[in-house]
């Protein structure tokens, strides 16, 4: 199960990503926001990431205007390793080397097609472990 959330700036892209997840066969839970009305991104990032920490969801996909705000909010939650990705290479390596469990993207930075590609890579790339786990342990 994938947790997905956005603020008002990311709402439209989040809705498109939900359709993409359905087409790819991924189950998800939408933690809001549920409209383009102005709202506070930390509220929704926290809801989605809390579902990851509890084990209800495996990973989170978070969207705001730039991806930066939701990543900062998400990374305040113990156990969350959130990464802002605007390209496929970063999405791949944040999983392989950092075992990121929250993907953050900016709806005002990337388009729908690239966001879908980044999401697919993030959700399907495994963690390599080994020396990378040792490094993660150092900051956790």
Q: Which of 8, 49, 57, 64 is catalytic?
A: 64
Collapsing DSSP states into helix, strand and coil, what is residue 52? helix
The catalytically annotated residue of 20, 39, 97, 132 is 97
Distance CA 51, CA 38 (A): 23
**What is the H or E stretch that residue 119 is in?**
helix 112-124
Counting beta carbons within 10 angstroms of the beta carbon of residue 131, is it exposed (0 to 12), middle (13 to 18) or buried (19 or more)? exposed
Catalytic residue at 64? yes
The residues assigned a catalytic role are 64, 97
């Amino acid at each position: 199960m994938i947790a997905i959330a956005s603020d008002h700036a990311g709402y439209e892209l989040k809705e498109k990503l939900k359709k993409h997840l359905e087409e790819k066969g991924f189950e998800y839970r939408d933690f809001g926001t549920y409209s383009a009305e102005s709202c506070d991104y930390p509220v929704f990032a926290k809801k989605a990431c809390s579902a990851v920490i509890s084990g209800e969801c495996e990973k989170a996909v978070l969207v705001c205007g730039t991806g930066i705000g939701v990543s900062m909010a998400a990374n305040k939650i113990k156990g969350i390793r959130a990464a802002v990705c605007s390209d496929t290479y970063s999405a791949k390596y944040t999983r392989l080397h950092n075992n990121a469990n929250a993907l953050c993207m900016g709806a005002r930075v990337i388009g729908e097609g690239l966001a879908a590609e980044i999401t697919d890579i993030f959700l399907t790339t495994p963690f390599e472990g080994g020396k990378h786990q040792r490094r993660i342990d150092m900051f956790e």
